Amino acid sequence: MNAIASFAAVPDSESSPGVWQLAWRRLRGDRVAMVALAVVAAYAALVVASLVGLVAADWTREVGVPYANPRFLGPTVDESVKIERPSGPRVDLSAVDPLAPRYAEWDARAAQIQSVSAPHLSTLTFGGDRLGRDVIAKAIKGTQVSILVGVFAALLATAIGTALGAVAGYFGGVAGDLMEWFYNVFTAVPGILLIFAFAAVFGRGTATVVLILALTGWTAVYRLVRAEYLKHRGREYVLAAEAIGASHFSRMFEHILPNVSHVVLVQLSLLVVFFIKAEVILSFLGLGVPIDSVSWGTMLNEAQSELILGKWWQLAAATAFMAVFVTAFSTLTDALRDALDPRLRQG
Protein backbone atom coordinates (compact mmCIF):
# COMPACT_ATOMS: atom_id res chain seq x y z
CA MET A 1 0.00 0.00 0.00
CA ASN A 2 2.47 2.55 -1.18
CA ALA A 3 -0.20 5.13 -1.63
CA ILE A 4 -1.21 5.04 2.02
CA ALA A 5 2.36 5.17 3.19
CA SER A 6 3.19 8.14 1.05
CA PHE A 7 -0.03 9.77 2.05
CA ALA A 8 0.70 9.35 5.74
CA ALA A 9 4.20 10.66 5.23
CA VAL A 10 2.96 14.03 4.03
CA PRO A 11 3.16 16.49 6.92
CA ASP A 12 -0.24 17.54 8.10
CA SER A 13 -0.54 21.03 6.69
CA GLU A 14 -2.53 23.46 8.75
CA SER A 15 -6.21 23.11 8.15
CA SER A 16 -7.36 26.03 6.15
CA PRO A 17 -10.04 28.08 7.85
CA GLY A 18 -13.66 27.50 7.08
CA VAL A 19 -16.28 30.20 6.83
CA TRP A 20 -16.93 30.42 10.57
CA GLN A 21 -13.25 30.64 11.43
CA LEU A 22 -12.69 33.34 8.85
CA ALA A 23 -15.68 35.23 10.24
CA TRP A 24 -14.36 34.90 13.79
CA ARG A 25 -11.01 36.28 12.73
CA ARG A 26 -12.65 39.20 11.05
CA LEU A 27 -14.82 39.81 14.10
CA ARG A 28 -11.82 39.71 16.38
CA GLY A 29 -10.25 42.57 14.49
CA ASP A 30 -13.27 44.75 15.08
CA ARG A 31 -12.77 46.37 18.46
CA VAL A 32 -16.26 47.74 18.79
CA ALA A 33 -17.65 44.28 18.13
CA MET A 34 -15.42 42.78 20.80
CA VAL A 35 -16.65 45.26 23.37
CA ALA A 36 -20.22 44.48 22.38
CA LEU A 37 -19.47 40.76 22.70
CA ALA A 38 -18.08 41.29 26.19
CA VAL A 39 -21.18 43.18 27.24
CA VAL A 40 -23.48 40.49 25.87
CA ALA A 41 -21.44 37.82 27.61
CA ALA A 42 -21.71 39.73 30.87
CA TYR A 43 -25.48 39.87 30.48
CA ALA A 44 -25.56 36.17 29.72
CA ALA A 45 -23.71 35.50 32.94
CA LEU A 46 -26.14 37.74 34.78
CA VAL A 47 -29.11 35.88 33.33
CA VAL A 48 -27.70 32.52 34.37
CA ALA A 49 -26.88 33.81 37.85
CA SER A 50 -30.39 35.15 38.24
CA LEU A 51 -31.90 31.94 36.92
CA VAL A 52 -30.19 29.74 39.48
CA GLY A 53 -30.95 32.19 42.22
CA LEU A 54 -27.48 33.53 42.90
CA VAL A 55 -28.66 37.10 42.58
CA ALA A 56 -32.00 38.86 42.86
CA ALA A 57 -33.68 35.75 44.25
CA ASP A 58 -35.49 37.80 46.83
CA TRP A 59 -36.70 40.56 44.59
CA THR A 60 -40.25 40.24 45.95
CA ARG A 61 -39.25 41.18 49.45
CA GLU A 62 -40.30 44.60 50.50
CA VAL A 63 -37.02 45.68 51.94
CA GLY A 64 -37.53 49.38 51.80
CA VAL A 65 -40.16 51.92 52.52
CA PRO A 66 -42.57 52.61 49.68
CA TYR A 67 -40.88 54.72 46.99
CA ALA A 68 -37.58 54.56 48.82
CA ASN A 69 -35.05 56.99 47.44
CA PRO A 70 -31.81 55.94 45.84
CA ARG A 71 -28.89 56.12 48.21
CA PHE A 72 -27.22 59.02 46.46
CA LEU A 73 -30.32 61.14 46.96
CA GLY A 74 -30.67 60.51 50.62
CA PRO A 75 -33.89 59.65 52.41
CA THR A 76 -36.97 61.74 51.75
CA VAL A 77 -37.65 64.53 54.12
CA ASP A 78 -40.87 63.03 55.43
CA GLU A 79 -39.12 60.02 56.78
CA SER A 80 -36.91 61.93 59.09
CA VAL A 81 -39.61 64.07 60.50
CA LYS A 82 -40.88 62.46 63.58
CA ILE A 83 -43.74 63.50 65.69
CA GLU A 84 -42.38 64.38 69.05
CA ARG A 85 -43.37 62.22 71.86
CA PRO A 86 -45.00 64.28 74.58
CA SER A 87 -43.00 64.22 77.75
CA GLY A 88 -44.43 63.87 81.18
CA PRO A 89 -45.88 61.07 83.29
CA ARG A 90 -48.32 58.65 81.93
CA VAL A 91 -51.92 59.53 82.45
CA ASP A 92 -54.05 56.93 84.13
CA LEU A 93 -56.98 56.18 81.89
CA SER A 94 -58.50 53.40 84.02
CA ALA A 95 -61.63 55.36 84.38
CA VAL A 96 -62.39 55.45 80.66
CA ASP A 97 -60.31 52.64 79.23
CA PRO A 98 -61.11 49.12 80.53
CA LEU A 99 -57.84 47.78 79.20
CA ALA A 100 -55.69 50.45 80.87
CA PRO A 101 -54.55 48.39 83.91
CA ARG A 102 -52.97 45.82 81.66
CA TYR A 103 -50.88 48.19 79.46
CA ALA A 104 -47.85 47.97 81.68
CA GLU A 105 -47.98 44.19 81.62
CA TRP A 106 -48.26 44.09 77.85
CA ASP A 107 -45.50 46.59 77.40
CA ALA A 108 -43.21 44.42 79.48
CA ARG A 109 -44.16 41.33 77.53
CA ALA A 110 -43.70 43.05 74.17
CA ALA A 111 -40.23 44.14 75.13
CA GLN A 112 -39.29 40.49 75.64
CA ILE A 113 -40.39 39.40 72.18
CA GLN A 114 -37.76 39.76 69.51
CA SER A 115 -38.84 41.46 66.37
CA VAL A 116 -38.02 39.27 63.42
CA SER A 117 -38.84 41.52 60.55
CA ALA A 118 -36.11 43.95 59.66
CA PRO A 119 -37.08 47.54 59.68
CA HIS A 120 -37.79 48.99 56.28
CA LEU A 121 -34.77 50.82 54.91
CA SER A 122 -35.20 54.43 54.12
CA THR A 123 -32.94 54.33 51.09
CA LEU A 124 -31.95 51.54 48.69
CA THR A 125 -29.05 51.28 46.21
CA PHE A 126 -31.07 52.65 43.36
CA GLY A 127 -34.35 53.23 45.09
CA GLY A 128 -37.48 51.22 45.70
CA ASP A 129 -40.82 50.88 43.95
CA ARG A 130 -44.30 51.45 45.25
CA LEU A 131 -44.09 48.46 47.58
CA GLY A 132 -40.55 49.14 48.67
CA ARG A 133 -38.95 46.40 46.59
CA ASP A 134 -35.34 46.93 45.53
CA VAL A 135 -35.25 48.36 42.03
CA ILE A 136 -31.89 46.83 41.18
CA ALA A 137 -33.08 43.37 42.15
CA LYS A 138 -36.18 43.84 40.05
CA ALA A 139 -34.13 45.10 37.14
CA ILE A 140 -31.87 42.05 37.27
CA LYS A 141 -34.79 39.65 37.50
CA GLY A 142 -36.53 41.55 34.76
CA THR A 143 -33.41 41.23 32.63
CA GLN A 144 -33.49 37.50 33.07
CA VAL A 145 -37.16 37.20 32.19
CA SER A 146 -37.14 39.56 29.22
CA ILE A 147 -33.98 38.16 27.68
CA LEU A 148 -34.97 34.53 28.14
CA VAL A 149 -38.39 35.17 26.65
CA GLY A 150 -36.81 36.94 23.68
CA VAL A 151 -34.21 34.24 23.10
CA PHE A 152 -36.53 31.27 23.42
CA ALA A 153 -39.20 32.87 21.26
CA ALA A 154 -36.56 33.62 18.63
CA LEU A 155 -35.21 30.07 18.72
CA LEU A 156 -38.67 28.60 18.37
CA ALA A 157 -39.66 30.97 15.56
CA THR A 158 -36.41 30.22 13.74
CA ALA A 159 -36.87 26.48 14.08
CA ILE A 160 -40.40 26.63 12.67
CA GLY A 161 -39.51 29.07 9.92
CA THR A 162 -36.41 27.18 8.83
CA ALA A 163 -38.14 23.80 8.70
CA LEU A 164 -41.11 25.09 6.71
CA GLY A 165 -38.98 27.35 4.53
CA ALA A 166 -36.58 24.57 3.62
CA VAL A 167 -39.39 22.27 2.58
CA ALA A 168 -41.17 24.98 0.62
CA GLY A 169 -38.05 26.25 -1.11
CA TYR A 170 -36.52 22.90 -1.92
CA PHE A 171 -39.49 20.86 -3.02
CA GLY A 172 -41.85 23.46 -4.37
CA GLY A 173 -44.86 21.81 -5.90
CA VAL A 174 -47.80 20.87 -3.69
CA ALA A 175 -45.84 21.02 -0.43
CA GLY A 176 -44.56 24.44 -1.39
CA ASP A 177 -48.03 25.68 -2.26
CA LEU A 178 -49.35 24.47 1.08
CA MET A 179 -46.59 26.32 2.94
CA GLU A 180 -47.26 29.42 0.91
CA TRP A 181 -50.90 29.24 1.88
CA PHE A 182 -49.91 29.01 5.54
CA TYR A 183 -47.60 31.94 5.12
CA ASN A 184 -50.23 34.03 3.37
CA VAL A 185 -52.79 33.32 6.07
CA PHE A 186 -50.43 34.30 8.86
CA THR A 187 -49.22 37.44 7.15
CA ALA A 188 -52.66 38.56 6.04
CA VAL A 189 -53.36 39.71 9.57
CA PRO A 190 -51.19 42.63 10.72
CA GLY A 191 -48.62 41.36 13.23
CA ILE A 192 -49.75 43.27 16.27
CA LEU A 193 -53.31 42.22 15.68
CA LEU A 194 -52.33 38.59 15.46
CA ILE A 195 -50.45 38.91 18.73
CA PHE A 196 -53.51 40.46 20.32
CA ALA A 197 -55.77 37.73 19.03
CA PHE A 198 -53.48 35.07 20.42
CA ALA A 199 -53.17 36.94 23.68
CA ALA A 200 -56.91 37.22 24.02
CA VAL A 201 -57.21 33.49 23.66
CA PHE A 202 -54.18 32.18 25.48
CA GLY A 203 -54.04 34.66 28.32
CA ARG A 204 -51.03 35.67 30.31
CA GLY A 205 -47.98 33.63 31.22
CA THR A 206 -44.30 33.48 30.39
CA ALA A 207 -44.48 30.34 28.27
CA THR A 208 -47.57 31.73 26.59
CA VAL A 209 -45.73 34.86 25.55
CA VAL A 210 -42.95 32.77 24.06
CA LEU A 211 -45.49 30.78 22.11
CA ILE A 212 -47.41 33.83 20.89
CA LEU A 213 -44.28 35.60 19.70
CA ALA A 214 -42.97 32.50 17.97
CA LEU A 215 -46.26 31.88 16.19
CA THR A 216 -46.25 35.42 14.88
CA GLY A 217 -42.58 35.76 14.07
CA TRP A 218 -41.81 32.58 12.14
CA THR A 219 -42.99 34.13 8.91
CA ALA A 220 -39.94 36.39 8.55
CA VAL A 221 -37.57 33.44 8.86
CA TYR A 222 -39.71 31.32 6.54
CA ARG A 223 -39.60 33.88 3.78
CA LEU A 224 -35.85 34.23 4.03
CA VAL A 225 -35.07 30.51 4.21
CA ARG A 226 -37.43 29.71 1.38
CA ALA A 227 -35.79 32.30 -0.84
CA GLU A 228 -32.36 30.92 -0.01
CA TYR A 229 -33.38 27.34 -0.73
CA LEU A 230 -34.96 28.39 -4.01
CA LYS A 231 -31.73 30.10 -4.93
CA HIS A 232 -29.47 27.25 -3.94
CA ARG A 233 -31.40 24.28 -5.24
CA GLY A 234 -30.58 25.24 -8.84
CA ARG A 235 -26.92 25.85 -8.08
CA GLU A 236 -24.40 23.62 -9.70
CA TYR A 237 -23.01 22.15 -6.51
CA VAL A 238 -26.45 20.84 -5.66
CA LEU A 239 -26.88 19.44 -9.17
CA ALA A 240 -23.46 17.87 -8.81
CA ALA A 241 -24.57 16.29 -5.54
CA GLU A 242 -27.62 14.88 -7.28
CA ALA A 243 -25.38 13.59 -10.07
CA ILE A 244 -23.29 11.58 -7.64
CA GLY A 245 -26.43 10.16 -6.09
CA ALA A 246 -27.01 12.18 -2.90
CA SER A 247 -30.52 11.83 -1.47
CA HIS A 248 -32.99 14.69 -1.02
CA PHE A 249 -32.35 14.73 2.70
CA SER A 250 -28.60 14.87 2.14
CA ARG A 251 -28.93 17.70 -0.32
CA MET A 252 -31.25 19.71 1.90
CA PHE A 253 -29.38 19.40 5.16
CA GLU A 254 -25.82 18.38 4.41
CA HIS A 255 -25.28 20.52 1.35
CA ILE A 256 -27.61 23.52 1.35
CA LEU A 257 -28.20 24.18 5.04
CA PRO A 258 -24.54 24.94 5.87
CA ASN A 259 -24.60 27.51 3.10
CA VAL A 260 -27.70 29.11 4.51
CA SER A 261 -26.92 28.95 8.22
CA HIS A 262 -25.10 32.25 8.40
CA VAL A 263 -28.12 34.06 7.00
CA VAL A 264 -30.37 32.29 9.49
CA LEU A 265 -28.06 33.24 12.36
CA VAL A 266 -28.27 36.93 11.54
CA GLN A 267 -32.05 36.69 11.25
CA LEU A 268 -32.19 34.91 14.62
CA SER A 269 -30.27 37.75 16.25
CA LEU A 270 -32.60 40.33 14.74
CA LEU A 271 -35.57 38.38 16.04
CA VAL A 272 -34.13 38.29 19.56
CA VAL A 273 -34.05 42.07 19.67
CA PHE A 274 -37.47 42.37 18.10
CA PHE A 275 -39.04 39.89 20.49
CA ILE A 276 -37.51 41.47 23.56
CA LYS A 277 -39.01 44.79 22.57
CA ALA A 278 -42.33 43.12 21.84
CA GLU A 279 -42.36 41.33 25.17
CA VAL A 280 -41.71 44.60 26.96
CA ILE A 281 -44.71 46.15 25.29
CA LEU A 282 -46.92 43.15 25.95
CA SER A 283 -45.97 43.03 29.61
CA PHE A 284 -46.56 46.75 29.85
CA LEU A 285 -50.08 46.25 28.59
CA GLY A 286 -50.71 43.43 31.02
CA LEU A 287 -50.74 40.78 28.32
CA GLY A 288 -47.31 39.37 28.90
CA VAL A 289 -45.70 37.77 31.92
CA PRO A 290 -47.93 36.84 34.85
CA ILE A 291 -48.61 39.18 37.74
CA ASP A 292 -46.21 37.47 40.11
CA SER A 293 -43.35 37.88 37.68
CA VAL A 294 -41.35 40.94 36.74
CA SER A 295 -40.00 42.09 33.41
CA TRP A 296 -38.76 45.35 31.98
CA GLY A 297 -42.27 45.88 30.71
CA THR A 298 -43.99 45.59 34.07
CA MET A 299 -41.41 47.94 35.54
CA LEU A 300 -42.21 50.50 32.87
CA ASN A 301 -45.88 50.04 33.60
CA GLU A 302 -45.33 50.95 37.22
CA ALA A 303 -43.10 53.82 36.19
CA GLN A 304 -46.01 55.39 34.38
CA SER A 305 -47.69 56.51 37.56
CA GLU A 306 -44.46 57.09 39.41
CA LEU A 307 -43.17 59.69 37.02
CA ILE A 308 -45.80 62.23 37.94
CA LEU A 309 -44.82 61.82 41.57
CA GLY A 310 -41.26 62.58 40.66
CA LYS A 311 -40.02 59.03 41.28
CA TRP A 312 -37.87 58.30 38.23
CA TRP A 313 -35.52 55.53 39.33
CA GLN A 314 -37.50 52.50 38.27
CA LEU A 315 -37.91 53.98 34.80
CA ALA A 316 -34.20 54.77 34.63
CA ALA A 317 -33.11 51.33 35.83
CA ALA A 318 -35.32 49.40 33.41
CA THR A 319 -34.40 51.68 30.51
CA ALA A 320 -30.68 51.53 31.25
CA PHE A 321 -30.53 47.75 31.59
CA MET A 322 -32.53 47.32 28.40
CA ALA A 323 -30.76 49.98 26.36
CA VAL A 324 -27.28 48.70 27.15
CA PHE A 325 -28.17 45.13 26.28
CA VAL A 326 -30.04 45.92 23.08
CA THR A 327 -27.35 48.33 21.88
CA ALA A 328 -24.62 45.79 22.51
CA PHE A 329 -26.57 42.95 20.94
CA SER A 330 -27.56 45.00 17.87
CA THR A 331 -23.98 46.14 17.39
CA LEU A 332 -22.81 42.56 17.66
CA THR A 333 -25.42 41.44 15.12
CA ASP A 334 -24.33 44.11 12.63
CA ALA A 335 -20.69 43.18 13.08
CA LEU A 336 -21.55 39.49 12.71
CA ARG A 337 -23.39 40.19 9.49
CA ASP A 338 -20.41 42.09 8.12
CA ALA A 339 -18.01 39.36 9.21
CA LEU A 340 -20.07 36.65 7.52
CA ASP A 341 -20.72 38.55 4.30
CA PRO A 342 -19.60 36.23 1.50
CA ARG A 343 -18.76 39.12 -0.77
CA LEU A 344 -15.93 40.10 1.52
CA ARG A 345 -14.55 36.61 1.61
CA GLN A 346 -11.33 36.12 -0.35
CA GLY A 347 -11.30 33.92 -3.41
Partner 1 sequence: MLSYALRRTWQMVPTLAGVVLLVFFLFKWFGGDPATIIAGLGATQQQIEAIRHTLGLDRPWWVQLGIFLREIVTLNWGASWATNEPVAHLFLTRLPATLTVMIPILVLQTVVSIPFGLGVAVVRGSLTDRAAMAITTVALSVSFLVYVLVGQWLFGFYLAWFPIQGWSDSVLTNLIHYAPLPILLAMFVSIAPTTRLYRSFFLDELGHDYVRTARARGASEARVLLRHVMRNATIPILTNIATELPGVVVGSFLIEVFFSIPGLGREILLAVNRSDYPVIQAVTIYLALLTMLINLLADLLYRVVDPRVRLN
Partner 2 sequence: MTTSSTAQDGGVAAPLLAVRDLRVSFRLGKSKPFEAVRGVSFEIAPRSTVALVGESGSGKSVSAMSIVRLLPDNAIVDAASRAEFGGVDLLHAPLDQVRALRGRDISFVFQEPQSSLNPVFTVGDQVAEALRLHTKLTRSRARARAEELFSEVGIPQPRDRMNAYPHELSGGQQQRVMIAAAIACEPRLLIADEPTTALDVTVQRQIIELLRGLQQRYAMSILFISHDLGLVGEFADAVVVMREGQVRERGSTVGIFGAPQDPYTRSLIACRPRLDQRPRRLPTIEDFLAAGGEQTAEPAPRPLRPNHGPQLIEAAGLRKQYRLKTGLLRRRTIEAVRDASFTLERGRTLGVVGESGSGKTTLGLLLMRLVEATAGQVRFDGEDVLRMKREPLMKFRRRVQVIFQNPYASLNPRFTIGQILAEPMRIHAIGADESERNARIAALLDRVGLARASLHKYPHEFSGGQRQRIAIARALSLRPDLLICDESVSALDVSVQANVLNLLLDLQDEFGISYLFISHDLAVVKYMADEILVMNGGDIVERGSAEAIYRDPQHDYTKKLLASIPRGYMPPSHV
Contact residues: partner 2, CB under 8 A: 1, 3-4, 6-7, 10, 12-19, 29, 235-237, 239-246, 250, 255, 258-259, 342, 345-347
Count of other CB atoms within 10 angstroms of residue 119? 8
Given partner 1, partner 2, none, residue 315, with its beta carbon under 5 to 8 Å by kind, binds partner 1
Cβ 196 to partner 1, closest distance in Å? 5
The residue among 63 and 209 lying less far from partner 1, judged by its C-beta, is 209
Q: Does the footprint of partner 1 cover residue 322 (CB under 8 A)?
A: yes
In the complex with partner 1, which residue's Cβ is closer, 222 or 296? 296
Kindly tell me which residue out of 59, 67, 198, 229 binds partner 1, with binding defined by CB under 8 A.
Answer: 198
Nearest to partner 2 of 13, 115 (CB atom): 13
Q: In sequence order, which residues have a C-beta less than 8 Å from that of residue 296 and are 6 or more positions away?
A: 139, 142, 143, 146, 280, 283, 318, 321, 322
Which one among 27, 280, 289, 317 touches partner 1, defined by CB under 8 A? Answer: 280
Q: How far is the CB of 18 from partner 2 (least distance, A)?
A: 6
Instruction: Give the number of other Cβ atoms within 10 Å of residue 228's Cβ.
Output: 21
Nearest approach, Cβ of residue 314 and partner 2 (Å): 45
Least distance in Å: CB of 204 to partner 1?
11
Nearer to partner 2, 19 or 160 (CB): 19
**Shortest distance in whole angstroms from residue 310 CB to partner 1:** 10
The contact set with partner 1 (CB under 8 A) reads 181-182, 184-194, 196-202, 277, 280-281, 284-287, 296-297, 300, 303-304, 307-308, 315, 319, 322-327, 330-331, 334
